A and B are shown apart, each in its own frame.
Chain A
Amino acid sequence: MTEHVLRVSDLETSFMRDKTEIKILRGVNFSIRKGEILGLVGESGSGKSLTSLSIMQLFHGTTGKIVKGSIYFNGEDLTKMSESEIRKIRGKQMAMIFQEPMTSLNPVLKIGKQLMEAIEMHLKLPKSESKHHAIQMLKSVGIGRAEEIIHEYPHQLSGGMRQRVMIAMAMACHPNLLIADEPTTALDVTIQAQILELMKKLKEENETAILLITHDLGVVAEMCDKVVVMYAGQVVEEADVFELFASPKHPYTKGLIASVPKIGDKKEVLDSINGHVPSPQNMPKGCKFAPRCNQVMSICQEESPPTVEISATRQCSCWLYAKKDVEVNA
Chain B
Amino acid sequence: MTSPTTVQNSQVQKKQRKYSPLKEFWKSFKKQKAALLASIFIGLLIVVAIIGPYIAPYDPFEPDYDALLEGPSASHLAGTDEYGRDIFSRLIVGAKISLMVSFSAVFLGLILGTILGLISGYFGGWIDKVIMRSCDVLFSFPDLLLAIAIVALLGPGINNVIIAVMIFSVPSFARLVRGATLNAKENVYVEAAQSMGASHVRVLWKHIFPETISELIIFVTMRIGTAILAASGLSFLGLGASPEMPEWGVMLSSGRDYLGTSSHVVIMPGIAIFLTVLAFNLIGDGLRDVLDPKIKNN
Contact = CB atoms under 8 A, between A and B. Distances in A.
B196 A169 contact: yes
B196 A117 contact: yes
A98 B9 CA distance: 28
Contacts of B202: 121
Contacts of A209: none
A103 B122 contact: no
A145 B8 CA distance: 12
A108 B16 CA distance: 15
Nearest to B122: A61
B188 A98 contact: yes
A103 B194 contact: no
A105 B191 CA distance: 10
Contacts of A98: 188, 191-192, 195
B195 A91 contact: yes
Interface string B144-161: 000000000000000000
B195 A90 contact: yes
Nearest to B123: A61
Nearest to B213: A108
Given A104-B188, A105-B189, A58 B206 contact: no
Nearest to B185: A61
A105 B124 CA distance: 24
Interface in A17-45: none
Contacts of A166: 192
A151 interface: yes
B181 to A, nearest CB: 10
A156 B122 contact: no
Contacts of A249: none
Contact of A89 (B6, B124, B197): B197
Contact of B196 (A61, A95, A107): A95
Contacts of A108: 210-211
Given A109-B206, A148-B10, A151-B17, A91 B197 contact: yes
B137 interface: no
Contacts of A58: 191, 194-195
B207 A106 contact: yes
Interface in A115-161: 117-118, 121-122, 144-145, 148, 151-152, 156
Interface of A: 56, 58, 60-61, 87-92, 95-96, 98, 100, 103-109, 117-118, 121-122, 144-145, 148, 151-152, 156, 166, 169-170
21 contacts: A56-B195, A58-B194, A60-B194, A87-B197, A89-B197, A90-B194, A90-B197, A95-B195, A98-B188, A98-B195, A100-B188, A103-B188, A103-B189, A105-B189, A105-B192, A106-B189, A106-B207, A108-B211, A144-B1, A148-B10, A166-B192
Which 5 pairs from chain A and chain B are nearest by CB?
A91-B197, A91-B196, A90-B197, A96-B195, A103-B188
